[in-house]
Structure formats: structure tokens, C-alpha cells
Amino acid sequence: MKTVSESFEYKIYASSDEMSKADADLMAQAIVQLDNAYAPYSQFHVGAAVRLVDGSVYIGSNQENASYPLCMCGERVALYNAGANKPNVAVESLAITIKNQKMSIDKPVSPCGACRQVISEYENRHQHRIRILLKSDGPEVYELNSVADILPLGFNGTFL
């Protein structure tokens, strides 16, 4: 038997002011999407914005349903929006922000497992790493280099 250890690094910006203008603008677009979330059941709003390598931006917000399995996360809505409009253009960055209407959350929240899998599919599809920017109520923004950092041993089409 052997033991394997996985680790990753990520950046923490004290606020959006420390980020590049392009990243701060992308996060600002994600924040605007919080108001477009449809979350009457959980009160957990997610706003997302995707920047493609050609500079175009596509947005998304979470959309709930009384039948919870039919809900769609904001980051998937943004990715699918980009994929539907520019299917052959790789995603460069994905900004995700959250707001819980029931309580304050001061640290960024990472994507759920389903969203991690979808982000991984987009990375594999275009053979291009996607930077992920995460924010919540607090001023800090986390920057991840790739979904592989938070989805070790991920599943992809090479197994099929």
C-alpha cells in the first residue's frame, strides 16, 4: 500500500481592488446577477460570469424549482450560456459570487460537485484551464488556477 497526498495553492485577494481590472469587472458582472437569481426556497443566490478567451462575457444566476433536483446552479447557467452562444471558444475565467438572504457568509464558497464536474468538462472540451474567482459577502476573493485543484481524480470522457 502507498499513501498519496494531494494539495493545491490558491490566491486570496483582500478585495476586488487588488485584482486586475478585467477580473474585477468580471466579478462585478457576477455580483449584478445575484439580483437575477430565482431562489424562493433556499434564499441562496448565486451570480456567475464567464469570460471567454475572445473577451466576450456570458452571465448566469441560479434558478430554483420546487422539485429541488430540477434546480440549476448559477455557474452552470453561465457556462451553458457561453457554450450555447460560442461553442468553439474556450472559457478563460469564471467568476462566482453568493449571497444567502438568511445569513451573512464572509468567506467565498466553492462550486458544488455537479458544477465542478461541468467546469471540468469545459476544461477538457477545449483543453484549456479555467481560472475560478470566488466571492461572498466579505471583501476577499479567492482565485483558483483550475477546477482540477478542487476536483482531484475527476471523471472525464477518456474513461468512456
Q: Which residues pair with 154 in a beta bridge?
A: none
Q: How many residues does the chain have?
A: 160
State the Rg of the chain over Cα.
16
Q: Where on the phi/psi map is residue 46: left (φ > 0), alpha (ψ -120 to 50), or beta? A: beta
Give me the active site residues, please. Answer: 75
